[in-house]
Structure 1
Amino acid sequence: MHEKKYKWYKIADALRELQFGENNILQIEVGGKKICVVKTLNGIAACAAKCPHAGGNMSEGFLDKNGNIVCPVHRYAFNFNNGRDVTGEGYYLKIYPVEIKEAGIFLGIEEGGLFSWLK
């Protein structure tokens, strides 16, 4: 199976530097992509800032009682483990890996992909 390769971006030196809103969601731009960094029940997660269903801004959403991120437009909820829409509609939200290390907090963006030859 193909192993994914990531380019890692440092997004903060420490967790306290991340300025989360009341909804525990922060939108940032990394590698030319708008990404939501989220303080979850289990730590930190990251996902695409745009809902795959209707393009809602996920940073304006909220976390439900199960720790899923919920789109503010139609209330579609997405699981951070796999990006799957838990309401069963078949949509997937792009999830980005986050690693907390001694040197800081890092977010991975997949290298290559379908259109990598365009670079």
Structure 2
Amino acid sequence: MKTFILGHSKEEVLRLVPENSIRLVQLGEEKICLTRKGETVYGFEAFCPHRRVSLAQGFVTPFREVVCPLHQYRFDIKTGSVRLGDCRDLQVFSTELTDVGLKILLPDQ
């Protein structure tokens, strides 16, 4: 696993990832999306598994789903499970909001 730290404080991360928005970030060679509900930050793959459309252009529902902007496929932002659509589950990444930033774990390629 590769560990990345985004930001330098909890407050900075909360500003960088506004609640209910989707932020695209580059971590090494990998692009991922981040979204936030309260002080919980979720990380998931940047492109829809169905047609590889950028999920950063989608939106987050009140039901903790990310919605693909192309065909409105819906994915659980915590587990990555497909809730609506016909494709594989979304890959999600472990995150932890700390006093020194957001710790993100990505699998080795």
Please indicate the TM-score interval, normalised by the length of the shorter structure. 0.7 to 0.9
| Amino acid in the other structure paired with 2:86 | E
Percent identity for Structure 1 against Structure 2? 24
Give TM-score scaled by structure 1 length.
Answer: 0.78
RMSD (CA atoms): 2.1
Judge conservation of contact 1:36–1:59 (CA < 8 Å) in 2.
Answer: yes
Q: Is 2:39 aligned against 1:35?
A: no
**Partner SS, residue 17 of structure 1:** helix
Unpaired runs of 5+ residues, structure 1, are: 1-5
User: How far apart in 2 are the matches of 1:42 and 1:15?
Assistant: 9
Max Rg structure:
1
Of residues 82, 86, 95, the one that matches 1:85 is 82
Total equivalences in the alignment: 107
Aligned-residue offset at 1:21: 6.4
| Amino acid in the other structure paired with 1:49 | A
Give TM-score scaled by structure 2 length.
Answer: 0.84
Aligned-residue offset at 1:67: 1.2
Q: Is 2:42 aligned against 1:9?
A: no
Unpaired runs of 5+ residues, structure 2, are: none
User: More strand per residue: 1 or 2?
Assistant: 2
